[in-house]
Amino acid sequence: PNKPPTVRFSSKMFHPNIYADGSICLDILQNRWSPTYDVSSILTSIQSLLDEPNPNSPANNLAAQLYQENRREYEKRVKAIVEESWIYQTSAS
């Protein structure tokens, strides 16, 4: 394909490189797309971004700021959103 796939998280995220609508600020899904990328390379890139955010290219300014300046508060907010997601999924079942 000549256009990158649309990739979004359906769960709420608090991450420097994830927009409020769940879309991902990742160069290979935007201006650095190449038809040579396969699903495996895209997922590996997303996994790397989740593990090592890029606060210099933020989609969420508050998350980027906290990631750089107050890692403990950043991790606290991430944990709260993950737990909120678990509670929602459990109650929706």
- Residue 85, domain CATH: 3.10.110.10
Tens-place pLDDT, residues 18-57: 999 999 999 999 999 999 999 999 999 999 999 999 999 9
Among 38, 44, 53, 31, smallest CA distance to 1 is for 38
Nearest alpha-carbon partner for 59 in 4, 5, 8:
8
* Position 47 in a domain: yes
Tally the domains of the chain: 1
pLDDT at 85: 85
Query: Over the chain, what is the mean pLDDT?
Result: 94
Q: Which residue has the tokens 């996994």?
A: 47
Measuring CA to CA, which residue among 10, 20, 12 is closest to residue 81?
12
Query: What is the model's pTM?
Result: 0.86
Residues acting as catalytic residues: 25
Residue 86: the pLDDT is 82
Task: Report the pLDDT value the prediction gives residue 43, as an integer from 0 to 100.
Answer: 98
